[in-house]
Structure 1
Amino acid sequence: MGFDLQDLRAAVAGHGRVARVVIAAIRGSSPREVGAAMLVWKTGQSGTIGGGTLEFEAAQAARSASRHGLSHHALGPDLGQCCGGAVTLLTETYDAETVAVLDPEVIARPVSGPADMPMAIRRVLATARSQGVTPAPQLVDGWMIEPVHQPARPLWIWGAGHVGRALVQVLAPMPDLAITWVDTAPNRFPGDVPSNVTAVPAAKPAELVRHAPAHAEHLILTYSHTLDLDLCHRLLGHDFAFAGLIGSKTKWARFRSRLGALDHPPDRIADITCPIGDPTLGKHPQMIAVGVAAALMQPARATLTKKDLRA
């Protein structure tokens, strides 16, 4: 996770001046990791640095402008939390002017150190550029450095019906997913599509398959079996990391036969997973979404696997 510049820009656009509170350093046990952040404005907040008393007091201080810059908190003695460690928080205030000049890749700024960039920070940035390695969020010599968050996993959701909407509600907050949501017309989508989800109305959705990245993951759950089949057909002729299809075992048996008739070999057809979801959770759209999302976000996996998602 890094500096979520998109979220900050959206918050500033909606609320004006916004305070950002980020965990800059930890010692011992902490409810969140370095780089975890929340945004705070006069009437609300988003994100989390771990909840509890630490978050409550940090939000109150950010709102009242009584705490900016670095602050140090012993979680047990100072706040009565069970975590036995200590955290250093950095609180900064942003508005439209200050957000506009932030670096789109790595944000490094002095918070308690010299105005001139220290050599240690220069080395971190030089290593990142020369080796293509994203630097970890860290507080070094009075400077805070954070990479700008870039979602790394493209996920294409085909269909904006009940299950598609439930999936987007569950998955949109996940920071690593770049979601493209496709259906046949603008009125197929709800009026409140999350700002970090790209909704794409297309009269012929299957024509968009060729534009999907080769490492994208796909969830197919449209209102039309004909369209589902066409999407499966197109995806089998296109590289993908995972393709999952909603439906029964009977539906998948018919699809396998029809895809075979379209000259797709059995081993290639087997690369599509159907059904998806956890059958023990039931068939309610939200339950399907929870089952699929749980498998999708397994931390031990870079991508979905048939074993994890097959019902």
Structure 2
Amino acid sequence: MLDREALDRAIAEHGRVARVVILEVRGSVPRGAGTEMLVWDGGQSGTIGGGRLEFDAAEAARQALDGGGDLARVYPLGPALGQCCGGSVRVLTEVFDAARAGALPQAGLWARPLPGVTGGHAPAAEGLSHGWFAEYIAPARRPLWVWGAGHVGRAVVHTMAPLPDFAITWVDTAASRFPDAIPEGVDQLIAAEPERLAPHAPETAMHLILTYSHDLDLALCHGLLTRGFGFCGLIGSATKWARFQKRLLTLGHAQDQISRITCPIGNPALGKHPQAIAVGVAAALLISPNDQITIGDGTQWARHS
């Protein structure tokens, strides 16, 4: 599946970009068909499996950027590559600039002939057929707003930023509260009064409230309940949440709406280390919108759509 947003972002930052995607695999291989990475002069993002395979594919991609053009190639994962997987990987490399990327479909199936192929028939579904390759354009990322850049906020953002599912907006009150390096693709927002941003978040956005202040946490819960949301998780104990529910009722919110906020967050079975909380949160947000999971304390966490 082509990650259109990642491709557009890489082109905006680096100019011409080579996209490397695994077309098909045979036998034992590091990654499956559809895995992709982007390569540009001096860097790359993503991985097709690491090791010598990725090194050689990245070098071939840079040669394509230097004028070699699109290419399809089979890599046998044996002694010749210094690997012992025993299988083989067929890889497609395509060079994109802003004009070519702009001509891509916005959504749906994108089919094209492989380099050097004439004629043939485009497959009606994702995959290979008679020298053609078809894949779906990835849907737009789900907006995820992370409120707070403390230990848990940093762990959550660094855990979830590499995932292709989320468009992360990271909010805190001062630049000094953020790490020196913000993960690629994460939008940083600095606001002295973060709760004033709540009305500007998409109504379908997911939110994780992880700030340093209980007063700010409450103001954000109030603002998001007023605005509407797809999912909202609040860090804290059961005691904190009991007190918040009473105060939110006093602010005029109905109990059934207040109950849409999940608190505590994470999986207690994993512990309270910031990274453990981040892993539990990430797992929950990756569950299908219509599914529920039961976490360590026996409660069910459903992601609302």
The answer to whether the superposition gives a TM-score over 0.5 is: yes
Aligned alpha-carbon RMSD (Å) = 3.6
Separation in 1, partners of 2:80, 2:161: 35
Please give the per-residue CA displacement for 1:278-309, whole angstroms capped at 9, x wherever unaligned. Answer: 334443322322222233234xx237857448
Task: Look up the match of 1:132.
Answer: none
- What is the TM-score of this pair, normalised by structure 1? 0.75
Task: Look up the match of 2:90.
Answer: 88
Correspondences of 1:139-288 after superposition (within 5 Å)? 139-288=128-277
Separation in 1, partners of 2:207, 2:296: 12
CA contact (8 A) 1:295 1:304 kept: no
Equivalent residue in structure 1 for 2:114, among 93, 105, 111: 111
| Alpha-carbon distance change, 28 to 236 in structure 1, aligned in 2, over 3 angstroms | same
SS in structure 2 at match of 1:120? coil
Unaligned ranges ≥5, structure 2: 300-305
How far off is 1:155 after superposition?
Answer: 1.3
Task: Look up the match of 1:296.
Answer: 285
Aligned letter for 2:32? E
| Alpha-carbon distance change, 15 to 309 in structure 1, aligned in 2, over 3 angstroms | farther
Task: Look up the match of 2:72.
Answer: 70
Bigger shift: residues 233-242 or 169-178 = 233-242
Aligned letter for 1:222? T
- What is the TM-score of this pair, normalised by structure 2? 0.77
Task: Look up the match of 2:21.
Answer: 22
Task: Look up the match of 1:131.
Answer: none
CA contact (8 A) 2:18 2:38 kept: yes
| Alpha-carbon distance change, 309 to 8 in structure 1, aligned in 2, over 3 angstroms | farther
Bigger shift: residues 99-108 or 164-173 = 99-108
Aligned letter for 1:234? G
Separation in 1, partners of 2:251, 2:269: 34
How far off is 1:277 after superposition?
Answer: 1.8
Separation in 1, partners of 2:210, 2:150: 8
Separation in 2, partners of 1:236, 1:6: 29
How far off is 1:23 after superposition?
Answer: 0.9
| Alpha-carbon distance change, 45 to 242 in structure 1, aligned in 2, over 3 angstroms | same
Please give the per-residue CA displacement for 1:142-181, whole angstroms capped at 9, x wherever unaligned. Answer: 3434444343322111122222122111111110111122
SS in structure 2 at match of 1:40? strand
Separation in 2, partners of 1:119, 1:63: 30
SS in structure 1 at match of 2:122? helix
Task: Look up the match of 2:46.
Answer: 47
Separation in 2, partners of 1:214, 1:139: 39
Separation in 2, partners of 1:238, 1:100: 34
Task: Look up the match of 1:4.
Answer: 3
Separation in 2, partners of 1:221, 1:246: 6
How far off is 1:113 after superposition?
Answer: 5.2
SS in structure 2 at match of 1:89? strand
Task: Look up the match of 1:33.
Answer: 32
Separation in 1, partners of 2:94, 2:267: 43
Separation in 2, partners of 1:5, 1:260: 43
